[in-house]
Structure 1
């Protein structure tokens, strides 16, 4: 059986695990149960290996509950969340938040610093002046582009660790965790399952994937990185045990103007879409950090992106350029 869950931008990753394993083998050992569910506005696929299907399904339920808990903490779309409260009070006052949200925000600011601002959770306030629905035929004016990022800037996110508060210094600022929230949810789902004694599984948060343990046949999980320039080929097959993988890309969401390809991932500092790379896959211990790196590198481009990635030896990368060149570590 070969499954292809829905991923961010519908590119890059395909779970190739559990290929041609006879049912008799499953019956003699553990069972694998998969469930697809909509969470955080996206498709998730949760896979649990357990001694029986009832146990597996019970733990899938617990994983879903954990992800829903996280969404109720970090969503900027639900008005009752702490993130929404922080956004409503931008330019007005600091807002006290749970330690979990404070720590996630603190890490997000660290990602901004290491990427020299290529990663920025305050892009939630960016005006959507670039259109990727086929309607755009020319670039917005420089004035419009600069105005679109007026309320963006991680430097204006003020944290107070003593009071556990977040303050957005500019009126109209917003923060959002669309860039790392699903990776964080995948990591937390895996962490919960490991704590509860589930020895193997996958939390696939719409392309941000956290794995642990092995398939029932004892082999590693197999994750295929698709080549967006060749639908019939896979750029690389990852064999993962306790690991994570995330991909950022522009295979289906981009615009071409005057022969140049502009991705839907916007540079927070300039307001211009990223160019040069069609997809960036990062794999290593954490889905959250892998996602932060992949997003940053799409903005930084090949040369600066490689410099950043190489600072973290526990993580590997695969870049595919706009011209189809594959670069691996």
Structure 2
């Protein structure tokens, strides 16, 4: 589960005024895609604001219908059901999302991989697990993992998973994508400003009614609920991957629920990763990849990407950040 532990968004729910025109901030919290979404918009009045929010909700539900692996009628479920059997024709939208996911896998040397669903069969993080799976069990789980086994046909718009029993899932990119699409929809509707928090994947546009930038609060990991510093964000996104609540302790060693799809073993050494960039989708995927790569390789990756920053909290609660992160 992706929770906002390391980052907390500072919402301003009070009525604000600009010099030219009165605007208000309208907010709604709703459960979507199995998680809590907070949607905030700046609007002319409350009625328009709630209409805007409902349009964003409808867009997110549309995305969920497209990418959900729990809905047996979704395009994603059809791809999985036909793994090792035949290629499945999909919409251009889903085809492009899968194509971008593969590109991120290549960029991260496989640390991000939408085919990692099979790894959950040997690891559980509900508190009951007290032993490490055997090498044979881990090796078996890896036989159906690997983005290289996704075959795309751009001409026919088809997707084929080469190995029977193989599955794709969008848990590490889907909510960011949904946030981006909801934002895109509202911007097209000329909604002047807002924030979409997709269970810890944030995207913003415009400014608060006061003209100030939206603020991201950096929570103090050693003092729950207290803010260490504030970061202003403008036309930007941020996603956090963390393991404060979901992990298993085996022989005194902490294993997070974030799996390394290359080894079949949970990632270790990091408590939280927050990635800042324009796209919530990219932030979502990269935060998972950096968590898997570790501090050194993760920082090196982000430093190669223009317009992208990261804050990493390692397992000793020591903070690491890229040069573009400036605290007030």
Give 1:224 deviation, angstroms: 1.4
Give 1:123 deviation, angstroms: 1.1
CA offsets 1:241-283 (integer angstroms, 9 cap, x no match) = 2000000010111122233221110100111100111000001
Does 1:126 find its partner at 2:129?
A: no
| Candidates 69, 73, 83, aligned match of 1:80 | 73
Task: Report the CA distance shift for 1:198/1:124 in structure 2 as closer, same or farther (over 3 A).
Answer: same
Distance across 2 between alignment mates of 1:235 and 1:139? 36
- Give the CA RMSD over aligned residues: 1.7
Distance across 2 between alignment mates of 1:177 and 1:229? 32
Task: Report the CA distance shift for 1:227/1:263 in structure 2 as closer, same or farther (over 3 A).
Answer: farther
> Would the aligned equivalents of 1:182 and 1:206 in 2 still touch at CA under 8 Å?
yes
Give the match for residue 313 of structure 2. Answer: 320
Distance across 2 between alignment mates of 1:235 and 1:252? 20
> Would the aligned equivalents of 2:4 and 2:240 in 1 still touch at CA under 8 Å?
no
Distance across 2 between alignment mates of 1:256 and 1:230? 22
User: What is the number of residues matched between the two proteins?
Assistant: 321
Does 1:215 find its partner at 2:208?
A: yes
Task: Report the CA distance shift for 1:238/1:128 in structure 2 as closer, same or farther (over 3 A).
Answer: farther
| Candidates 277, 281, 290, aligned match of 2:274 | 281
> Would the aligned equivalents of 1:228 and 1:251 in 2 still touch at CA under 8 Å?
no
Give the match for residue 157 of structure 2. Answer: 164
Which 4+ residue blocks in structure 1 deviate beyond 6 angstroms?
A: none
Any unmatched runs of 5+ in structure 2? 323-328
TM-score normalised to structure 2 length:
0.94
- Give the 5 Å matches for 1:199-210: 199-210=192-203
Distance across 1 between alignment mates of 2:3 and 2:203? 18
Any unmatched runs of 5+ in structure 1? 1-6
Distance across 2 between alignment mates of 1:324 and 1:247? 15
Distance across 2 between alignment mates of 1:73 and 1:263? 29
> Would the aligned equivalents of 1:16 and 1:224 in 2 still touch at CA under 8 Å?
yes
Q: Secondary structure at the match of 1:8?
A: coil
| Candidates 196, 220, 225, aligned match of 2:218 | 225
> Would the aligned equivalents of 1:248 and 1:279 in 2 still touch at CA under 8 Å?
yes
Does 1:244 find its partner at 2:244?
A: no
Distance across 1 between alignment mates of 2:203 and 2:182? 8
Give the match for residue 35 of structure 1. Answer: 28
Distance across 2 between alignment mates of 1:280 and 1:127? 21
Give 1:40 deviation, angstroms: 0.8
Distance across 2 between alignment mates of 1:197 and 1:24? 19
Give 1:232 deviation, angstroms: 4.2
Task: Report the CA distance shift for 1:242/1:303 in structure 2 as closer, same or farther (over 3 A).
Answer: same
Give the match for residue 60 of structure 1. Answer: 53
Does 1:268 find its partner at 2:261?
A: yes
| Candidates 183, 190, 200, aligned match of 2:176 | 183
Give the match for residue 6 of structure 2. Answer: 12
Distance across 1 between alignment mates of 2:218 and 2:141? 34
TM-score normalised to structure 1 length:
0.93
Distance across 2 between alignment mates of 1:63 and 1:135? 38
Distance across 2 between alignment mates of 1:238 and 1:188? 24
